[in-house]
Amino acid sequence: MSLKQYLSILLIACVSPFMQAQEGIPTYSDYLSDNLYLLHPSMAGASTVSKLRLTARQQWFDVDDAPNLQTVSFNGRAGEKVGIGGIFFNDSNGYFSQSGVYATFAYHLLMGRNYVDLNQLSFGMSVGVIQGRLDETTFDLTDFDPVVAGIQQSDSYLNVDFGMSYNFMDFSAHATVKNAIPVKRDIFSENFEPNNQRRYIVSLAYAISPLYSEWSFEPSAMFQATDQTGEATVDLNAKAYRKFDWGKLWGGLSYRRSLDGAEFTPNGETVEIQKLQYITPFLGVNYDKFLFGYTYSYQNNSVVLSNGGFHQLSLGYNFGSGREPYDCNCPAVN
């Protein structure tokens, strides 16, 4: 096997988890920092307060043009049963970058007999307009590749996410279909990018609060699968909260593993399979109406593009008069 072939396989093995950046907002670990709305449109307005969130994520500080992502999101209630939200994001990954805006409508049904015990079924849909850009200005045109134009190409398209959530006391479940509409972009050859970017996401969580304790714990799991390629990953998370007079301190650990793998050769003779693995510790604080969170992800694989981790900062502000909190330990809603 030639050096060029080996490097190509190595690049695919390391970068394949980030190819989802071409399908809209990348699916990372934002939801662990009180930002479930980025994943599930049905969570727009589900909380008793309105939420403004800003995130900035940078991968591999020691790699030029490494993937990075910035998001600004807002969601809140617009009436008794209607939730609204909006997301702006900017995502860069090497020569490819994209930015876009989503608008969300959600509808919340109270299934219980009162407004104190949480029993809420929610439906949501987000419509997004995304502009993708491919910078070919530094490409070598002497290869006479007909696909390469040597310019910065751009293309805009529309897509839709929809899903549902069920919050019952300390339990929550969410299911979302992202990028539901098939899209063909002119800046990519159909041989390189399929028009089906559909992704399915299911997440579950349960909050545990010991009696007469300021501590609470929230184990959760998330499963996501890509329709076109059949790729799938699962997250197993453990999160802890500690209440204080001034607010709340929280943190935890997440483990993400791919259910399929990428082939690579360590010596040019044998072929091995490597499955993507992330270990992600995170820490944050809610002080009055403000939120600050930090997330670090480490790729725990033998073959990686860089040993540098992925860093993310989250800032938030809760505002609005707020509804009466539910009588439950439900951090995503109260």
Domains of the chain, CATH where assigned: 41-321 (2.40.160.40)
**208 in Cβ contact with 202 (< 8 Å):** no
Instruction: Give tens-digit pLDDT for 117-161.
Output: 899 999 999 999 998 887 776 666 666 555 666 667 778 889 999
Q: What angle do CA 305, 306, 307 make, to 5 degrees?
A: 140
Structural tokens at position 15: 């970068």
**For the chain (length 334 residues), average pLDDT per consecutive 10?**
39 41 62 90 94 89 77 93 95 84 96 82 95 74 61 82 95 95 68 77 94 92 90 94 94 92 69 82 95 90 68 92 79 84
E strands along the chain, which residues?
A: 50-59, 68-77, 82-93, 96-110, 119-135, 152-168, 171-178, 199-206, 215-226, 232-244, 247-264, 272-287, 290-299, 310-319
What span, in angstroms and rounded, lies between the C-alpha atoms of 203 and 199? 13
Q: What's the pLDDT at 7?
A: 39
Local structure of 10: helix, strand or coil: helix
Q: Which of the 8 DSSP states describes residue 83?
A: E
pLDDT confidence of residue 108: 95
Identify the burial level of 210 via C-beta atoms within 10 angstroms of its C-beta, where 0-12 means exposed, 13-18 middle and 19 or more buried: exposed
**The pLDDT of residue 151:** 66
Q: DSSP letters of 5-25?
A: HHHHHHHHHHHGGGGGGGGSS
- pLDDT per residue over 11-29, tens digit each? 434 444 434 434 556 667 7
Can you tell me the distance from the alpha carbon of 73 to that of 70, in angstroms, rounded to the nearest whole number?
10
Q: What is the pLDDT of residue 314?
A: 95
- Report the C-alpha gap between 271 and 151 in whole angstroms: 38
In one-letter notation, the amino acid at residue 137 is T
Single out the residue of 166, 203, 169, 199 nearest to residue 35, CA to CA.
203
Helices (H), the chain: 3-15
Q: Report pLDDT digits (tens) over 294-320.
A: 999 888 766 666 666 789 999 999 988
Q: What share of the chain is helix, strand, coil (3-state, %, to 5)?
A: 10, 55, 35
The DSSP secondary-structure symbol of 265 reads: -
Residue with tokens 């690579």: 264
What is the model's pLDDT at position 193?
Answer: 65
The pLDDT of residue 12 is 39
Entry pTM? 0.84
